Amino acid sequence: MTQVSPPRGAPVTMGSVTTMTFRVTNTRNSRKIVAIKFSLQRGRDIKGGSFLSGTALPGGWISTGRSGKRSMTFKATSWNDAIDVGGTKEFTLTLRAGSAPRDISQTLRKVEAAFSERRMESRRKESLRDVGSWTLKSLEITSFQTVNMTGSPVVSQVAGQSFRLVATVVNRSTARQAGITTSPQPPAVTKSGTVTLPNSPLISYRPQPLTLRPGEQGTITFAYTTSPTDIGAVTFTAFARDYTGLATSVTSSSNTLVISRFIASIAVVPSCVYDAQNFTVVLRLSNGYTYDIVDITPRLSSSVGAPIRYLSGPTPSRINTLNAGESGVSDNALFAWRYQISGGTPGDTFTFTGSATGTGRTEGRPSLTTPDVTSPTTKRGGHLPTVRPSTTNAASANQELTWSFTNENGCGPIRRVSILIPSGWLWGRDAYSIVEQVSPPNPDSVPTESWVVSGSNPVIFTAPDGRELQIGKSASFSIVFLKTPAAAGVYNFDLTITDASGASEIKPTSVTVQPFNSGGGNATDTKAFREDFE
């Protein structure tokens, strides 16, 4: 077996949700691989870690395991789909990384293959070689942002003024980490143009000293002052570490900060947007010259492939006068556009790049253009729910359907999930949910059934305060139907997923109803394959 991506030993933040792709090759002489079981490493130091929904399987393969477990079993649905001698298949697994007291390597404990010579019943099990590995990182830099002197994020700065670089660090490990700094200290800086920065910025910690218990966060702040002649851009790079160097983070890069006398900055509101949701792009201008700038027009473009649709803007189309010393705080110093998310997939990211051009109201009336500035990354939020079983028989009694998803690319904690029931399905008021919760201060997940069920159609699952589905956690929502439809066909169930801000998205799912007694029961019989690996 080969680990395709990420490469072996790649850094992964403890407790984070990640995807890994493995290629399985059948090197046996006569037997096909009809089932495979992946198991995560267990150990005294490593806590947590589980497989989640969202796994991408080869065509003709299905999962027979449940989300949130340390092992996951997959099987071919037919003899033709099994891995033939000399053949390969790739499996992309979604998993939540484990946690430990310090940086440590985590692996797949083992990968077992079930072989068969003539039919789908497995006859022989073997452990595959070269199981995957990755390095669990104890710390995470969750934000590496330049801010102005009032603490507001900025991507541009008037030359001659001061700014701060703030690294927000979270302890994702299971142990207390002390003496946290960046490496290098101060962060490495990449400069362009004529920008000059002091080599020894003022450094402050919050708390001081920066010692964090599991789940706690703190900040490291670097204060810089630019030169009045600076024109260009800067970017900073560093990773976080404790005083021993045994607890570290993945290397992070800050946003790019543009420095000039006539500058623009871009903000996208909100910065995470669901499909069909509208959002606003604002280009703010600041004039660091001693004279006015007149007749200003903007330019704005999105990154290639951005899943967006233009609605309106810019508003206004022109700024008549930007007074000397006026900053983007004024409503007279901004342009705005409206867009809508259209298409794409959850997790897609994109940016906007913009500038503005005007004329200096001074001798010679020079043409002035701001340096190009790029917005912070905007995320196309969303979820990928699955329903099990996806097929059932007509006119069946007591059929349970379960919708599952991981809040991997949501825009915030999930507060409510509603499921719209199509005609023909008879619900008997039996419904429940299993929602992973954070159990402070330990980063492990604890499932709970505390969400409240209400409504009749749609069926609404609502989180009590403090019990929302957090980013990176998984949940399942189950409804038991007294009767399935008498008519065969494909039935659509719409899930409306609403986060804590009130923003929501609608995700369609479908269940196929087959004619009664059409060749099988209502649930895929996976018992034999599960027993093969016991």
* % of the chain at pLDDT higher than 90: 57
Look up the pTM and report it: 0.70
- The predicted pLDDT at position 122 comes to 56
Q: Given its phi and psi angles, is residue 165 left (phi above 0), alpha (psi -120 to 50 degrees) or beta?
A: beta
Q: 518 pLDDT exceeds 80?
A: no
| pLDDT averaged over every residue in the chain | 88
More confident residue, 68 or 514: 514
Q: What is the pLDDT of residue 519?
A: 46
Predicted pLDDT at 327: 78
Average of per-residue pLDDT across 69-77? 84
Alpha helices in 59-101 (DSSP H): none
Average pLDDT rounded to a whole number, residues 425-435: 92
Is a pLDDT exceeding 70 seen at residue 478? yes
Contact status, residue 382 vs residue 503, Cβ threshold 8 Å: no
Give pLDDT tens digits for 123-136.
667 777 667 789 99
The percentage of residues in the chain with a pLDDT greater than 70, rounded to a whole number, is 91
The answer to which of 49-53, 79-83, 283-287, 331-335 has the lowest mean pLDDT is 49-53
- Has residue 486 got a pLDDT over 90? yes
With bands split at pLDDT 50, 70 and 90, how would you rate the model's confidence at 517? low
Does residue 529 carry a pLDDT above 70? no
- Structure confidence at residue 487 as a pLDDT band (50, 70, 90): very high
* DSSP alpha helix (H) spans, 118-265: none
Q: What is the pLDDT of residue 123?
A: 64
Task: Tell which residue, 528, 403, 352, 444, has the closest CA to residue 15.
Answer: 444
- Region 136-149 average pLDDT: 95
* Banded pLDDT at 488 (limits 50, 70, 90): very high
Report which of residues 301 and 2 the model is more confident about: 301
Q: Residue 446: what pLDDT?
A: 64
Residue 39 CB contacts under 8 Å (≥ 6 apart), including other chains: 70, 71, 108, 109, 110, 111, 112
In this predicted model, which residue has the larger pLDDT, 331 or 396? 396
Model pLDDT, residue 534: 44
Q: Are 19 and 103 in contact (CB under 8 A)?
A: no
Helices (H), 198-240: none
Is the per-residue pLDDT at 4 higher than 80? Answer: yes
Locate 54 and state its tokens: 């969202």
Looking at residue 530, its pLDDT comes to: 40
Q: Is the pLDDT of residue 438 over 90?
A: no
Is residue 273 predicted with pLDDT exceeding 70? Answer: yes
Lowest mean pLDDT among 31-35, 292-296, 418-422, 509-513: 31-35
pLDDT per residue as tens digits for the range 180-196: 999 999 999 999 988 98
The answer on pLDDT for 283 being more than 70 is yes
* pLDDT tier for residue 224 given thresholds of 50, 70 and 90: very high
In angstroms, the CA 477 to CA 448 distance is 12
Per-residue pLDDT tens over the stretch 358-394: 999 999 999 999 989 888 889 999 999 999 999 999 9
Q: How far is CA 39 from CA 49, 97, 495, in A?
A: 10, 13, 31
Range of 100-109, 253-262, 292-301, 513-522 with top mean pLDDT? 292-301
Q: Are 37 and 7 in contact (CB under 8 A)?
A: no
User: What is the pLDDT at residue 520?
Assistant: 47
Question: Mean pLDDT throughout 86-96?
Answer: 88
Given pLDDT bands bounded at 50, 70 and 90, which one contains residue 531? very low
Angle ∠(234,235,236) on CA atoms, nearest 5: 125
Confidence band (pLDDT; 50, 70, 90) for 114?
Answer: confident
**What strand order describes the sheet that includes 17-25?**
2-5, 17-25, 88-96, 50-51
What is the per-residue pLDDT for 532? 47
Residues contacting 445, CB < 8 A, separation 6+:
48, 50, 68, 96, 436, 437, 438, 439, 473, 474
Give the pLDDT confidence score for residue 144 in this predicted structure. 96
